[in-house]
Amino acid sequence: MSALATQVLQGDRRALARLLTIVENAREGSDDALAALFPHTGHAHIVGITGPPGAGKSTLVNALTQALRTDQKTVAILAVDPTSPFSGGAILGDRIRMRDLAGDTGVFIRSMATRGSLGGLARASRDAVRLLDAAGYDHVLVETVGAGQNEVEIARMAQTVLVVEAPGMGDDVQAIKAGILEIADILVVNKADHPGLDNTVRGLKMMLELGHPASRTQVMSHHGRAMSVAAPVSASDDQPLWMPIIVQTVATEGRGIEALLDAIRAHRAHLHLDGHLQRLEHRQLEIELQERLRDALLARLLEHVSAQDMSVLIERIQQRRLTPNQAVETMLAGLRFGQFED
C-alpha cells in the first residue's frame, strides 16, 4: 500500500489532504491509493445537502456539524461548488466554517470546484467521499449548490439527501423545485423565522403529497424541543416506503437542528431495514459504472481515431455530405469486444 494511504488510515490529516488533491486531479498514484483504501469504505453515513443559493446551506451544515460533534461523532465536509473562469472558484460559506470549526480535529473540511465537465466533478466527488469514508469519519456531509444537474449528481452518491429551501424564494421556482423534490429524503425549510414560512411549507407539503398519494407528510416545527421521528411509511405498499419529512430550522440560531438530526437518524435507520441501503448502493454503483464505462470507452476510441481523422469527418458533416449519425457509425466500424470473463 502507498505510504499516503497507510497514513490516511492512521488518521493523518495532512496525508488525507494531499491524497484528496491527487485523487481530485486524477494524478499518478490515484487509482492505486483508491484501490488500497476501498476495502476500508462503507462505514460513514453519507449525507448530501443541496438547494438553491441563498437558502443558507453553509450555515446549516455548520450547525449540523456542531450538533454531531456534541454527540461525539466525527464529521467530514465536502463542499462541491460550481466554478467558472469569471468567479475564479470562490467557495461559498467557507469563511464562516473556518471561524466556527477551526481547530477541531474531529472535523475535516474540503472544497472542490468544478473543473471542466460536470462528469469529471461527479467522478472526483465520489472518489473524495470514498477517501473521507476510509479515513474513518462517521459522517460525510456533501454540500453542493443546487443548480439543475448538480442535485441529481449528489443524489447519486449520498445515502440521505437533504434539500434546503427558504421561505419567500419566489413562486417561479416551482418548476425547479419539482425536480429537486424527487431526490429529497428530508426537506429543510431553513430561515423559518422569515415571512412566508406557512406558504412555503404548505406548497412543499402539497407537492410531496401529489407525488406520494397514499401518505401524509410529517412537518417538524423549529419551535420547542426535539421530537422523535418515526420512519414514515406509505400505507399502500408492501415495501416500506420513505416519505420525505419536512423540517423547519433557523440555522443561524441553532433552532430545529436537533429535530433535523432526529430526521437524519430516522432515515438512516430506515435504510438499514430490509436491505434498502444495499439496493440503493447497487443502483448508485450501476450508474457509476455506466458513467465510467462511457468515459473509458470514449478515451480508448480516441486513442484509435486521431484528432485529424475526427476533423476530416466533422468537415464532411459541415459540408452536409455526412450526418453526425453516419460519422459515428464510421468510427465504430469494426468495434469488437473480447470474451467477457466473469
Nearest approach, Cβ of 291 to a copy of itself (angstroms)?
9
Is residue 224 involved in binding a copy of itself (CB under 8 A)?
no
Is residue 290 involved in binding a copy of itself (CB under 8 A)?
yes
Quick one: which of 239, 173, 243, 240 has its CA closest to 211?
243
- Per-residue binder mask for a copy of itself (CB under 8 A), 10-29, x = binder: --------------------
Is residue 214 involved in binding a copy of itself (CB under 8 A)?
no
Quick one: which of 42, 25, 269, 56 has its CA closest to 143?
56
Q: How many CB atoms lie within 10 A of CB 324?
A: 10
Nearest approach, Cβ of 228 to a copy of itself (angstroms)?
29
- The DSSP string of 88-124 is --PPTTHHHHHHHHTT-TTEEEEEEE--S-HHHHHHH
Please choose, out of 3-11, 79-87, 258-266, 267-275, the segment that lies near a copy of itself by the rule CB under 8 A. 79-87
- How far apart (Å, rounded) are the C-alpha atoms in residues 204 and 189? 9
For a copy of itself, the closer of residues 35 and 227 by Cβ is 35
- Site size toward a copy of itself, by CB under 8 A: 85
Site for a copy of itself in 129-188 (CB under 8 A): 145, 147-150, 170, 172-176, 178-179, 181-182
Please choose, out of 6-14, 222-230, 267-275, 297-305, the segment that lies near a copy of itself by the rule CB under 8 A. 297-305
* Dihedral pair phi/psi, residue 220, rounded to 5°: -110, 120
- Per-residue binder mask for a copy of itself (CB under 8 A), 227-256, x = binder: ------------------------------
Return the residue of 54, 195, 224, 275 that touches a copy of itself, per CB under 8 A: 54
Nearest approach, Cβ of 233 to a copy of itself (angstroms)?
20
- How far apart (Å, rounded) are the C-alpha atoms in residues 254 and 333? 61
Quick one: which of 209, 216, 263, 218 has its CA closest to 235?
216
For CA atoms 168, 63, 142, 268, give the dihedral sign.
negative
Is residue 118 involved in binding a copy of itself (CB under 8 A)?
yes
